[in-house]
Amino acid sequence: MQKNELRAFTTWLGDNDVCYTVVKQNAVVELPDAIENSDSVAKLSEGKIYPMLVNLKEIKSISKEARDHFSMQNRPPGVSAIGLLIKSPASTLIGNFFLGLNKSIVPVKLFTNEEKAVLWLKQFQKK
Amino acid sequence: MSKELEEIYKKVCLLAGEKTSIKADKKKGILTGLKKLEETLKANKKQEEENSKRINEILKVVISLANLKYDKKAKISNKKSHFDALALGINMLGEELEASTISLHEKEVLLKEIHHRVKNNLQVISSLLNLQSEKIKQPDLLETFMESQNRIRAMALVHEKLYQSKNLSQIDFTEYVHSFINQMSSSYSLDPDKIKMHMLADMNPHFFKIDTAIPCSLILNELISNSYKYAFPKNRKGNIYLHFAKEKETKNTAQYILEISDDGVGISPEIDIKNTSSLGLQLVDLLTSQIEGKLELDRKGGTKFTIRFPVEKN
């Protein structure tokens, strides 16, 4: 399993056909980080569309430009659904922004439990 | 140990000593307990001060956002506390607010652009009419084209004055009248030695909104055109007078007078301004009603149209 270490994220494609992104400890996510993440996910996916689990637990902040990029409003979505893992007050707040103000064009749901998140994401796997 | 705790310790020892003989290890225990209590109280006080400082910082950002100022951001520490989440939330809301609101400056630029475009479009229409009129041979039709051109130019001038004005919603009508007279004189290319234009407007600025400025500009256009065209036939010499002033004012409204007169041949006594076939005079009557004004015609020694109209104060 190949893991990509980016400035603000670690990304990999799981054996369960779910794409994983973990936000690094106290990461301040800016637009270049968001683009780097999308590029990394696109490379891992090799043209296929997978559901994605994003672990936001350790995030510190995220800029408006990065949020807009992740909402995928003006570009084709590289993923079929997004599960957001939250824990800290900041990660909960950012998660709620993606449900309300920075709505994504693919289904998004917040979770505190990884297993439940993966279970929900599996229904969006393309056969 | 602080003075207050030292006092408490002394009192505790005194109390214990009065009833039982207090042992040294018990004294030590009391002392340790009190020290711990003091440390906890100090830590709580420090936390309270820290919390109060952060609330103040966040409030300052909220106040800035309420004033539509987006440059201030709340600080976020690495502690992942509720205060950090609150600061982050306020910052993110500010960013969303900034992205979804039009600043006052942008609004001004947009309004200026609109008035500029309206003026340009009106000028294009006027030029098109001019080009078309070059092919017209019939004098009556040619005159109709010229009248339409003048009406369009009068309105274009209002929009030009609007985008040059400070607040983009009102124009100084005194200034407009002066510019209009220049425009009108060049349009009719009349010899100033034969027909003299006299401006009796006071020089104070009088600001009108577009709803008043456009009808007034068209009234001015119709009445001055009429004088130019009909008052001085067969090379007759004469004068046209334009009087514009504020007559009186109350708390909420001001009353203005717009008077256009000439010492020409005079308007035919058969013409009833309330029931005329002349499009120009019909327009004057209609536009006067639009601004809730009163129109009077005096036929003595030429022609004098007087329009009195109210303008609401800002």
**A19 close to B (CB below 8 A):** no
Q: Where is the domain boundary, B77, B100, B123?
A: B100
B154 and B275 assigned to the same domain: yes
B238 and B96 assigned to the same domain: no
Q: What is the pLDDT of residue B79?
A: 86
Best of B96, B98, B100 to substitute, by most chain A Cβ atoms within 10 angstroms, is B96
> In this complex, do A89 and B80 lie within 8 Å of one another by their Cβ atoms?
yes
Mean pLDDT computed over every residue of chain A: 92
Q: What is the pLDDT of residue A75?
A: 80
Q: What is the pLDDT of residue A52?
A: 95
Question: For the segment A12-50, what is each residue's pLDDT rounded down to a tens digit?
Answer: 999 999 999 999 999 999 999 999 999 999 999 888 999
B120 and B78 assigned to the same domain: no
Question: For the segment B160-194, what is each residue's pLDDT rounded down to a tens digit?
Answer: 998 888 878 889 999 999 999 888 877 776 677 78
Q: What is the ipTM of this complex?
A: 0.82
Compute the half-sphere exposure of residue B58: CA atoms within 13 Å on the CB side of its CA.
20
B132 and B161 assigned to the same domain: yes
Residue B132 to residue B139: CA distance in whole angstroms: 14
> Could you please report the per-residue DSSP string of B86-119?
HHHHHHHHHHHHHHHS--HHHHHHHHHHHHHHHH
* Residue A18 included in any domain: yes
> In this complex, do B92 and A67 lie within 8 Å of one another by their Cβ atoms?
yes
Nearest C-alpha in B relative to A95: B89
Question: What CATH number is associated with residue B191?
Answer: 3.30.565.10
B85 and B207 assigned to the same domain: no
Judging contacts by C-beta atoms under 8 Å, the chain A residues touching residue B82 are 89
B96 and B142 assigned to the same domain: no
Question: For the segment B237-283, what is each residue's pLDDT rounded down to a tens digit?
Answer: 899 999 999 999 988 899 999 999 999 999 888 888 888 888 889 99
**B97 close to A (CB below 8 A):** no
Segments in chain B below pLDDT 70: 1-2, 15-24, 189-190, 314
B58 and B109 assigned to the same domain: no
**A99 close to B (CB below 8 A):** no
Q: What is the pLDDT of residue A67?
A: 93
Residue A84 to residue A99: CA distance in whole angstroms: 10
* Residue A127 included in any domain: no
Q: Where is the domain boundary, B52, B77, B100?
A: B100
* Residue A97 included in any domain: yes
Q: Where is the domain boundary, B48, B73, B100?
A: B100
Q: What is the pLDDT of residue B16?
A: 63
Tell me the residue range of the domain where A98 lies: 3-122
Tell me the residue range of the domain where B235 lies: 104-312
Closest to B252 measured CA to CA, from B310, B206, B209 = B310
**A101 close to B (CB below 8 A):** yes
Q: Which residue in the block uniquely carries the two structure tokens 């040619």? A: B142
**pLDDT-derived band at A72, boundaries 50, 70, 90:** confident
B59 and B11 assigned to the same domain: yes
B97: left (phi over 0), alpha (psi -120 to 50) or beta: alpha
Number of domains in chain B: 2
B61 and B128 assigned to the same domain: no
Number of domains in chain A: 1
